[in-house]
Amino acid sequence: EDQVTQSPEALRLQEGESSSLNCSYTVSGLRGLFWYRQDPGKGPEFLFTLYSAGEEKEKERLKATLTKKESFLHITAPKPEDSATYLCAVQASAGNNRKLIWGLGTSLAVNP
Amino acid sequence: DTGVSQDPRHKITKRGQNVTFRCDPISEHNRLYWYRQTLGQGPEFLTYFQNEAQLEKSRLLSDRFSAERPKGSFSTLEIQRTEQGDSAMYLCASSAPGEPYEQYFGPGTRLTVT
């Protein structure tokens, strides 16, 4: 069964304290792995798509990497405005519906 | 703004009433998805449209739920005889044909069933 597990469930950082969020997955053929940011009461906001092992994407203080079994979202020198829930999702290559299989998310709090 | 829009943003209804939500996808996107999300959970897939065709519906979705996408443009999600367990955020997403495959989400409709 396709599955996504994110860790930790919650993370509290001081401003400027770099860290990484983990997303491990099992899927019958990976079409893509996606990272989203979600603020309370809002829909998920797309951040990155990763397609193959070894791929990396960067955006401001965020960097996403992918291996055959997991992805990391590295946050460098975070600011309070980076506080949000970060969701990871995978899309299996089998089937044509492209539905996303989601993890439960990591709730990140960055203290000033 | 050309993002995904949803209406209403909030809906409070009494148990047993019917409710309908609307989603307007990004204009050139032919694929449209409905998800449901409860607190502390990731989005849960409900149904998927490619153009006007509903190609998949979650087995978790009871017969009280129905979705349409006439003419392959906007979509509606109707819940009949609402139950308290239906209280959740209902999210709509759309994606373009071909690569890239990412889905873009609307702001969601928060449903509260009293």
Would you list the DSSP string of B66-91? Answer: EEE-GGGS-EEEEE-S--GGG-EEEE
- Average pLDDT for B41-51: 92
| pLDDT band, very low/low/confident/very high, at A92 (cuts 50, 70, 90) | confident
Q: Is the pLDDT of residue A95 over 80?
A: no
Residue B104: strand, helix, or coil: strand
CA atoms of A57 and A61, how far apart (whole Å): 11
Look at residue B26 in the predicted model and tell me its pLDDT. 94
pLDDT of residue B9: 97
* Helix (H), strand (E), coil (C) string for chain A: CCEEEEECCEEEEECCCCEEEEEEEECCCEEEEEEEEECCCCCCEEEEEECCCCCEEEECCEEEEECCCEEEEEECCCCHHHCEEEEEEEEECCCCCCCCEECCCEEEEEEC
> Could you tell me which residue, A1 or A55, shows the higher pLDDT?
A55
Residue A96's pLDDT band, with cuts at 50, 70 and 90, is: low
Residues of chain B found within 8 Å of residue A41, distances taken between Cβ atoms:
89, 108, 110
What pLDDT does B100 receive? Answer: 66
Mean pLDDT, rounded, for A44-60 = 95
Contact yes or no for B48 and A98 at CB 8 A: yes
Contact call for A100 and B56, based on CB within 8 A: no
Q: What is the rounded distance in angstroms from the CA atom of residue B26 to the CA atom of residue B32?
A: 9
Is A112 an 8 Å CB contact of chain B?
A: no
* Interatomic CA distance for residues B71 and A93, integer angstroms: 28
Cα angle: B80, vertex B83, B84; to 5 degrees: 145
State the pLDDT confidence band at B103, using cuts at 50, 70 and 90: very high
Cα distance between residue B97 and residue B95, in whole Å = 7
**Residue scoring higher pLDDT (B47 or A96):** B47
Interface check A98 vs B, CB under 8 A: yes
